[in-house]
Structures are given as structure tokens and as C-alpha cells.
Amino acid sequence: MAADTTDPIYLQPTAHVDADHPAVLEFARRTTVDAQDPTAKAVALFYAVRDGIRYTPYGVDLSPEAMRASATLAAGTGFCIPKSLLLTAAARAVGVPARLGFADVRNHLASPRLLELMGGTDVFAWHSFTEFGLDGRWVKATPAFDRGLCDRFGVLPLEFDGTADALFHPFDAAGRRHMEYVRQRGSFADLPLAEIRATFEELYPAWIEGAPSGDLHAEASPGAS
């Protein structure tokens, strides 16, 4: 049975998926100017967000003002949730149905500093990705890790063709355990910010209190400890 990708809610702007913001509209239209169909648009947007927005798990700001697609675009950096917000909003801006997907993942290759900030756990709650409504079904794409970060960590970058899900690899390029999906949290038309904030405050107070700064790309550099 085909998935319901036709609900107009998946094309509408929301408080966090602000697809009608002028900057988001301009970014989406410029990125997809040569795309001839919805699948090509989704693919072009995926790579633009994956590599055009630098991944960082530091400086986390869970305020409503920061948790908007337009804010991610302006910052040029973000962790998985802001990057998925931008990808989802940009898709809607050019008429591609899109929604936010969430899961808890275990990162076997997390940096020591990030593990310390997260209280020693390697489970990242509310990891986010985008789900595109393409050809009557939902296709998942994770734009979190940019190619530069993947190269430094020795992780295979995710590729997306619009037909198969692009989810985190279970192993890295050297065969080490990388990402493990441990819990699915569902799909949403808008960001469930209150639920995410409550979980983060409970599990990761040191990570979000004071928004510690850092550069994960530098931590992952060859020879870094």
C-alpha cells in the first residue's frame, strides 16, 4: 500500500519548518534550478544541506528562535536537528512533500569530549533526518555529517539518489562499529521541541547548559586524541 504523502500539511510552512522564509525560498529555488522533477529536487537539496551546512554538536541552542530552518541557514552550521529542519523546509519550499523523522542512535565513534559532555553515554536521543514524499512513499535522508567531517573521521559519507533511504552506516570505512539505531521516535510535520528539550535536559544537562563551544572537525583530525 502506498504511503500517504499527499496530506497538504507536508507542504505547509510551520513555526520551525519555515519554508516561506525569503532566505529559505531563495536557497531552495537556487539549489534546484536545474532539477526537472521532485526526486531530482530532493537529491540536490540533500547534498546542498549535507555539505553546505557544517555539522557541529556544540553551541546547541534549543530556543524557538534558533530551532528554525531559516536560523540554520543563516548560521551555516548545526547538528542533526537544525540541518533536518532546513532540508525539510527547503523541500516544501519547492513543492516536495517532506516531514521530520526521529530516532535514538548509538554513536560508537563519538569523540571523548562529546561523550563527557553527554554524561558518558553514547546514545543520542532524538537524532533527526528528513523524510521526502516521493513517488507515493516516504524516503529517508540524513544530512547531518558533511563530507569534510566524514573524511576526517574515516566515515563513509551518506549518498542519496531519491529512491533508497540514506541512513547512517553501521560501520565505518575501516570496519569499526559506527552507528546503531536503537529506538524509532516517529515522524512529525513540525518540530516537537518541548519533548526534545525535556529529554535533553534530563539526559544531557552538561551538553546544553551554557552551550559549550568546540570544533568536532578539529577533534576528528588525524592524530587528534
Express each pLDDT in 97-124 by its tens digit.
Answer: 999 999 999 886 677 888 888 888 889 9
Average confidence score pLDDT of the chain: 90
Confidence of residue 219 (pLDDT cuts 50, 70, 90): low
Residue 94 and residue 29 in contact, taking contact as beta carbons nearer than 8 Å: yes
Q: Does 225 have pLDDT greater than 60?
A: no
Q: Where are the domains of the chain?
A: 8-145+159-212
Cell (9 digits) for 218: 578539529
Better-scored residue on pLDDT, 174 or 55: 55
Cell (9 digits) for 145: 555529517
Q: Does 29 have pLDDT greater than 50?
A: yes
Q: Torsion-angle region of residue 186: left (phi > 0), alpha (psi -120 to 50) or beta?
A: left
CATH of 8-145+159-212, one of 3.40.630.30, 3.30.530.20, 1.10.10.10, 3.10.620.30: 3.10.620.30
The predicted pLDDT at position 224 comes to 34
Confidence of residue 20 (pLDDT cuts 50, 70, 90): very high
Better-scored residue on pLDDT, 16 or 111: 16
Neighbouring CB atoms inside 10 A of 98's CB total 30
Confidence of residue 202 (pLDDT cuts 50, 70, 90): very high
The predicted pLDDT at position 215 comes to 63
What does the longest C-alpha to C-alpha distance in the chain come to?
50
Query: How far is the CA of 19 from the CAs of 86, 87, 185, 215, 222, in angstroms?
Result: 8, 10, 23, 29, 38
The predicted pLDDT at position 113 comes to 81
% of the chain residues with pLDDT over 90? 69
Residue 73 and residue 28 in contact, taking contact as beta carbons nearer than 8 Å: no
The predicted pLDDT at position 97 comes to 98
Q: What is the DSSP string of 166-208?
A: B---SB-TTS-B-EEEEEEEEEESS--HHHHHHHHHHH-HHHH
The predicted pLDDT at position 207 comes to 82
